[in-house]
Amino acid sequence: MFKAMGNPIRYEMMEHMLKYPGCNTANIVDHLPIAQATVSQHLKVLKEAELVIGEIEGPATCYCLIDENVKWFKETVQKIF
């Protein structure tokens, strides 16, 4: 989980998902100046870290933060610092 959050692009993607829950890959690509394939790779890392979940809606997958895991991460980091 810490490795997944250590990348500034992934952090920015998560901030975007916090503001716009249920966004899809195209929404994230429009927000960040990176290629769709790169966004997909970063989403894979976030899903493997169990920070993000993707739900298929028609031809697109909508992504949301897994609130309890993000909360745990935030609380853990606050304890360290």
The answer, yes or no, to whether residue 80 has pLDDT greater than 90, is no
Task: Check pLDDT > 90 for residue 40.
Answer: yes
Domain containing 38: what range?
Answer: 2-80
Q: What is the pLDDT of residues 41-72, one digit of tens each?
A: 999 999 999 999 999 988 989 999 999 988 88
Q: What are phi and psi of 40, to 5 degrees?
A: -60, -40
Q: Are 75 and 57 in contact (CB under 8 A)?
A: no
Give the Cα separation of 68 and 60 in Å (integer): 24
Tell me the per-residue pLDDT of 13-27, one tens digit each, with 9 for 90 and over. 999 999 998 999 999
Our count of domains for the chain comes to 1
Contacts 24+ apart (CB under 8 A), 33-38: 34/9, 38/9
CATH of the domain at 39: 1.10.10.10
Q: Give the per-residue SS3 of 2-33.
A: HHHHCCHHHHHHHHHHHHCCCEEHHHHHHHCC
